[in-house]
Amino acid sequence: MTDGRQPVVAEVTHEALARCQAIGRGHVEAVEALRAELEKTPTLGRRAGSAVGEMKICTTRLEPTDTRPALTVACVYDAPPPEPGLIRIALVSAVRFAGGGTEG
């Protein structure tokens, strides 16, 4: 790459994909759009904690739309060198509000 950044590959785990399908319509598409965006802008999200070694865990929120509630998405970032960095979208959950339900 000409800008000096390490290349990044983002993927959705089987577990996260299954959760998207279980939650309902529009979730797979929203998470797939996030996956594509993470490959362009891997610094999205807020650091949630530290994993093993140079890995890190971050979360981001996908705002609600007319067809789906807000989602919280957890991503695991593997250390990039020497291979391209890998971001795994590992957990997807509908955002719960004080009333106990999801927005929708």
Which residue in 55, 77, 65, 10 sits closest to 37, CA to CA?
Answer: 10
Whether the pLDDT of residue 1 is over 80: the answer is no
- pTM score of the predicted model: 0.79
Per residue in 58-82, pLDDT tens? 999 999 988 888 999 999 988 766 6
Per residue in 11-23, pLDDT tens? 999 999 999 999 8
Q: What is the mean pLDDT of the chain?
A: 82
pLDDT at 84 (0 to 100): 72
How far is the C-alpha of 32 from the C-alpha of 12, rounded, in Å?
A: 8
Backbone angles phi, psi at 19, to 5 degrees: -65, -40
